[in-house]
A and B are shown apart, each in its own frame.
Chain A
């Protein structure tokens, strides 16, 4: 095996705020980081739920509407199937607890502990009226597509979830 001093990289773009997709994103990020990779996550649009604090957002009428419907943090993420107005989230939460699978916030904390970098997309923050201070403190910064493309170019694999 070739020996490289620099770590291999992985880039994951997270556009979905669905419970199952966030779960996949954080699991892959954690696994890659544990396998000695430099992992960068870019959160955009609904994916911003993955790094939001538990608070409502928005300034304008529409912004506040989005904030109300999309409000809350990662613990409020609903599964992409069997939503049932929050029932699905509760059911999956119970099932995962019974099987001793870690929850989304624990998995995200593990990713942070393993040095996974997290960036938020500035444009979707503008559109959805989400402020930097409404994101968790561990977010490395706000970024645009240029940084994402640069990271992806240097990555062994890039995923869009």
Chain B
């Protein structure tokens, strides 16, 4: 998936530690329409496990994860 993903909301979660990155994504998921995308940038290595797990449990989807230096960028799609 090299094409650009249309982002509806961007969250800067750098510096936040568990459980905050996942909580912030969950608090904001209803701020995008169904099918919409949240781009969340975190630095907590735990979020690599937590955010996909949160998505599976809540029925949403992490469509792409990027890593650059310390930044971990998630593209989370709201499915319902």
Closest chain A CB from B31 CB (angstroms): 14
Q: Which residues of A contact B26 (CB under 8 A)?
A: 34-36
Q: B63 at interface (Cβ–Cβ under 8 A)?
A: no
Q: B7 at interface (Cβ–Cβ under 8 A)?
A: no
A99/B58 contact (C-beta < 8 A), A34-B27, A35-B26 known = no
Q: Which residue, of B18, B19, B20, B27, has the highest number of chain A Cβ atoms within 10 A?
A: B19
Q: Which residue, of A30, A35, A100, has the highest number of chain B Cβ atoms within 10 A?
A: A35
Per-residue B-contact encoding for A110-132, CB less than 8 Å = 1, 0 else:
10001000000000000000000
Nearest B residue (CB) for A8: B57
Q: Indicate if the CB atoms of A27 and B58 lie closer than 8 Å.
A: no
Per-residue A-contact encoding for B15-38, CB less than 8 Å = 1, 0 else:
111111011001100000000000
Q: Indicate if the CB atoms of A31 and B23 lie closer than 8 Å.
A: yes
Give the complex CA separation of A31 and B26 in angstroms.
10
Q: Which residues of A contact B57 (CB under 8 A)?
A: 35-36
Q: Indicate if the CB atoms of B58 and A35 lie closer than 8 Å.
A: yes
What total of A-B pairs shows CB separation below 8 Å? 34
Q: Indicate if the CB atoms of A27 and B19 lie closer than 8 Å.
A: yes
Nearest A residue (CB) for B57: A35
Q: Indicate if the CB atoms of B23 and A34 lie closer than 8 Å.
A: yes
Known: A110-B20, A110-B23, A114-B23. 17 other contacts (CB 8 A): A1-B59, A27-B18, A27-B19, A30-B19, A31-B18, A31-B22, A31-B23, A34-B19, A34-B22, A34-B23, A34-B54, A35-B57, A35-B58, A99-B17, A100-B15, A100-B16, A102-B20
* Residues on B facing A (Cβ under 8 Å): 15-20, 22-23, 26-27, 54, 57-59
